[in-house]
Structure 1
Amino acid sequence: RDCERRLRQEVQKYSVELRHAHETERHRVARELHDEVGQTLTALNYTLERMALHSSGTGIEIAKEASSLVADLTSRVGDLCLALRPHVLDDFGLGPALIWLTQRFEQQTGILVELLHDGLAKRLPREVELGVYRLIQEALTNIARHAGAKRCAVRCASSPENLVVSVRDYGVGFQVDRLSSGLRGMDERVQELGGRLTIRSSPGQGTCIRAKIPLPIKAW
């Protein structure tokens, strides 16, 4: 039993380190895409616009078509940067980030999201904001992939003592007897923050994922 406990502790330790390394790499890639690729595409689009001004006939049409393709690619790179590391989370906190996330989710999937949040006007510890954002992001991804739901609800409420999060869908549900790797990862993420994750689901009754995370008395 002691050996098993030590092995579990080691696995949990490496899992935490892997998640931290993953987030660091996400941030680095997003920054490089924005700074390097984004600026290069902007310069290329400017060059194509100048070519169109100094061309005639077919040359103008080709330059305009190329410029349109570059503009589309620039938009796609911007979306990728936001998916990797949304700047709204770093700049404005969890509340605005969840508004952006759920609106984007609705646009991409057509699934309606009812978002209620309370007590998020003040910034929470950075690791809590990022962990909860990723938790809700993963839960919404699971809904889009597996739930077959047309609507869902996201709740996030903060008090001086706890942050309570829930994501509920009204889809097909499943039998909670064995967690998938994605759900285990969500559970580990919540445990890393000192909290507890509960999952309630049954076939035909939808799924509710709820996390309760302790907070310091004073959030910064």
Structure 2
Amino acid sequence: MSDRYPPPGAPSLRAPGGKNPVQRLYRRLFLMNGLVFTVGTLVLAFSPATVSSPVLLTELPVLIVGLAVLLAVNALVLRTSLAPLSALTTLMQRVDLLGMDDRLVDNGNGDLHQVIETFNAMLDRLESERSTASAHALAAQENERRRIARELHDEIGQSLTVVLLGLKRAVDRAPGDLAEELRAVQETVRASLDEVRQVARRLRPGVLEDLGLQSALSALSSDFSQVIGVPVTRKVDPALPKLSAETELVVYRIAQEGLTNVARHARADAVELSLTEEDDHLTLRITDNGRGGARNDGAGIRGMRERALLIGAKLTVDSPPGGGTEVRLAIPCTAKPCGGEEER
């Protein structure tokens, strides 16, 4: 099928009766102008009013009134019919497919009703297609992370372990001075092995798969505090509703990215991570007391927004200058993410 044609089920710009909005507007203007000219002609034909050549001063008011009526009718019709175009232009300039609430409100204008419906349907379709594409991309990303984590653990980790065992045997048989140097190398290799294991854990949250979301968030906070040196206050409701595996992964990754942003940009000395149920929503918050002032969405925040869309959640970032930053993920518990059917 050619790309020039809309997909099946897409709304058509053709209005009921076979006429599109432009044709309807054209017909209305034609009828209005024709009506005004007809009335003017009838007035000149059947009333005492006349127009001489050259035009007399006493006839000017008749012509001026007729012209004023014609212009007023045209202005009224055009203003009423084309008013939604200004709102449409503004929305097209600011629309963001990561924001799910941007839609044009139809105020009942007959001429552009189909245009408004079609534009909103186009946004719905693009949002759905982007969400689907993001889901495939993020799934591929998670698979690649698992593969890299597995290779780090099974290949590089095992190789470093063999090196450590070899160094231990060498240290036991080496003379004093050489033994000290070998012990230093041994500690360097052991530190490298620990770093490899930490990277593997960040790439593949095995604790999430084995012990669940609460334990995974606890381990994530502890790792953050140990590496960055900033204490994390955790508040996780122990009676959370059951979540699907996809939702748990999204919550974990957003918490992970939120803490990473704190480490990179916030200059904070205290962080709070909470996961609670509030008003039929499961709410994740990552709050810091840093410098705030985040104005534009970077790659990290946009990535979090894309993940939120996958489960129908809404992500907001509040970052006043000097007032710290709060990242808030609200997951509606009436939707599929809460109360998932999957058994752990």
Regarding TM over 0.5, the answer is yes
Shift of the 64–209 alpha-carbon distance from structure 1 to 2, 3 Å rule, reads closer
1:122, 1:43 → 2: CA distance? 45
After superposing the two structures, state which structure 1 stretch, 108-117 or 129-138, moved more.
108-117
Pick from 120, 126, 142 the counterpart of residue 261 of structure 2.
142
Indicate if the aligned counterparts of 2:283 and 2:328 stay in contact, CA closer than 8 A.
yes
Deviation at residue 116 of structure 1 after TM alignment: 0.2
Q: Which residue of the partner structure matches residue 70 of structure 1?
A: 189
Q: Which residue of the partner structure matches residue 205 of structure 2?
A: 86
Q: Which residue of the partner structure matches residue 115 of structure 1?
A: 234
Shift of the 200–53 alpha-carbon distance from structure 1 to 2, 3 Å rule, reads closer
After superposing the two structures, state which structure 1 stretch, 201-210 or 1-10, moved more.
1-10
1:141, 1:162 → 2: CA distance? 25
After superposing the two structures, state which structure 1 stretch, 166-175 or 188-197, moved more.
166-175
2:339 partner amino acid: P
User: Per-residue CA shift, 1:83-118, capped at 9, x if unaligned?
Assistant: 211321121111111111111111222222111001
Pick from 214, 220, 225 the counterpart of residue 106 of structure 1.
225
Shift of the 120–64 alpha-carbon distance from structure 1 to 2, 3 Å rule, reads farther
Q: Which residue of the partner structure matches residue 151 of structure 1?
A: 270
Q: Which residue of the partner structure matches residue 301 of structure 2?
A: 183
Q: Which residue of the partner structure matches residue 81 of structure 2?
A: none
2:150, 2:179 → 1: CA distance? 34
Q: Which residue of the partner structure matches residue 328 of structure 2?
A: 210
Pick from 164, 179, 184 the counterpart of residue 283 of structure 2.
164
Q: Which residue of the partner structure matches residue 35 of structure 1?
A: 154
1:20 partner amino acid: A
Q: Tell me which protein shows more strand as a share of its residues.
A: 1
The alignment-based identity, stated in percent, is 36
Deviation at residue 191 of structure 1 after TM alignment: 1.3
User: Per-residue CA shift, 1:49-91, capped at 9, x if unaligned?
Assistant: 2222333344434433332222122111111111211321121
After superposing the two structures, state which structure 1 stretch, 51-60 or 129-138, moved more.
51-60
Q: Secondary structure at the match of 1:173?
A: coil
Q: Which residue of the partner structure matches residue 82 of structure 2?
A: none
2:158, 2:270 → 1: CA distance? 38
Deviation at residue 21 of structure 1 after TM alignment: 0.8
1:71 partner amino acid: R
Shift of the 219–61 alpha-carbon distance from structure 1 to 2, 3 Å rule, reads same
Q: Which residue of the partner structure matches residue 318 of structure 2?
A: 200
Shift of the 172–87 alpha-carbon distance from structure 1 to 2, 3 Å rule, reads same
Q: Secondary structure at the match of 2:286?
A: strand
Q: Which residue of the partner structure matches residue 78 of structure 2?
A: none
1:216 partner amino acid: G
Q: Pairwise CA RMSD of aligned residues?
A: 2.6
Deviation at residue 122 of structure 1 after TM alignment: 7.6
1:15 partner amino acid: S
TM-score, structure 1 normalization: 0.86
1:32, 1:105 → 2: CA distance? 24
Unaligned runs of 5+ in 1: none
2:268, 2:176 → 1: CA distance? 51
2:174, 2:308 → 1: CA distance? 59
1:175, 1:105 → 2: CA distance? 21
Unaligned runs of 5+ in 2: 1-118
Shift of the 198–218 alpha-carbon distance from structure 1 to 2, 3 Å rule, reads same
Pick from 2, 6, 9 the counterpart of residue 128 of structure 2.
9
Q: Which residue of the partner structure matches residue 127 of structure 1?
A: 246
| Rg comparison, structure with higher value | 2
2:128, 2:242 → 1: CA distance? 31
Shift of the 71–201 alpha-carbon distance from structure 1 to 2, 3 Å rule, reads closer
Higher relative contact order (CA 8 A, sep 6+): 1
TM-score, structure 2 normalization: 0.57
Indicate if the aligned counterparts of 1:95 and 1:121 stay in contact, CA closer than 8 A.
no
User: Per-residue CA shift, 1:155-179, capped at 9, x if unaligned?
Assistant: 10258x6421111122222265x43
